[in-house]
A and B are shown apart, each in its own frame.
Chain A
C-alpha cells in the first residue's frame, strides 16, 4: 500500500543552524502539508501546498520556515535558523485531491534543537 515517507527519522541540530526535513508524498497526490507536534501538545498545522505554491499557512509558519517541491517526488520543509522551541515532531501529509479527502500522514521526523 502506498505510504508517505519522511527522512530523517531523527535530526539533532544546534540552535541557529539550518535544517531541511524531507518527505516523499504518495505518488498521485496533489496536496501536501506540514504539521508539527511539540512533546505533550496538540498536533498543529503549519502549511499547505498545492500547484507549487503555498495555499495556506499558520501563524507559526513565519519567515524562518519555507517549503519546496524541488522535483516531482520530494516535498521539503526548511527551517533557516533553528530555535530551541522548534524542537518537535514534524509530520508531512498528502491528499489526492481537493475536498473532503483523507490526509495520509508520514511517520514523522523528530527534530531536537540543542
Chain B
C-alpha cells in the first residue's frame, strides 16, 4: 500500500530564506505528483504537477523535483515571503485515478 510522508511536519523561517520541503513515497510506480498549498480552513490550490517522466517543474519562485527511483520529491521555495505561510501538501497518482495525499508541512515565514 502506497504511503506518502512529508518532512518536516512544521517549519518556521525568517523572510528571505530559501527552503526545501520533502515528500517521500514507498512505491515508485506513480503516474504523477502534485504539490498543493492549503491556507487554514481553505481549499487546495495546485502549485505544480510533475509527470512521472519529468525530473522537475518550475513556476516562479517554486521548483519541484521528482526522483521516482528513490521515492522522493522536493519543493524548493526561493526567497520566502510571509505570504508563503500555509500548509504544503504533496499528492501522487498511481495507476488508479485517485490522489494519495501526504501528511503536509506547515510553513510559517516571519518578517
Q: Determine if A110 is an interface residue (Cβ-Cβ < 8 Å).
A: yes
B57 to chain A, nearest CB (A): 11
Closest to B54 in A: A100
Closest to A99 in B: B31
Bound CA–CA A31/B46 (angstroms) = 17
CB-CB < 8 A to B102: which residues of A? 42
Chain A binding site: helix, strand, loop or mixed by DSSP?
Answer: strand
Q: Determine if B103 is an interface residue (Cβ-Cβ < 8 Å).
A: yes
CB-CB < 8 A to B43: which residues of A? 91, 105-108
| Among A91, A99, A100, contact of B44 (Cβ-Cβ < 8 Å) | A91
Closest to B51 in A: A100
Size band of the interface chain A makes with B = 20 to 34
B101 to chain A, nearest CB (A): 4
Are the C-beta atoms of A102 and B49 separated by less than 8 Å? Answer: yes
Q: Counting chain B CB atoms within 10 Å of each CB, which of A31, A33, A103 scores highest?
A: A103
Count of A-B contacts judged by CB separation below 8 Å: 55
Closest to B52 in A: A100
CB-CB < 8 A to A104: which residues of B? 46
Closest to B50 in A: A100
Are the C-beta atoms of B41 and A43 separated by less than 8 Å? Answer: no
B46-97 contacts to A, CB under 8 A, are: 46, 49, 51-52, 89, 91, 93, 96-97
Which 3 residue pairs spanning A and B have beta carbons closest together?
A107-B43, A45-B98, A105-B44
Cross-chain pairs A/B with CB under 8 angstroms, 23 sampled:
A42-B101, A42-B102, A42-B103, A42-B104, A43-B89, A43-B91, A43-B99, A45-B98, A55-B97, A56-B98, A58-B98, A89-B41, A91-B43, A98-B97, A100-B32, A100-B52, A102-B34, A103-B46, A104-B46, A105-B36, A105-B46, A108-B42, A108-B43
- A residues in contact (CB < 8 Å) with B: 31, 33, 35, 42-45, 48, 55-56, 58, 89, 91, 93, 98-100, 102-108, 110
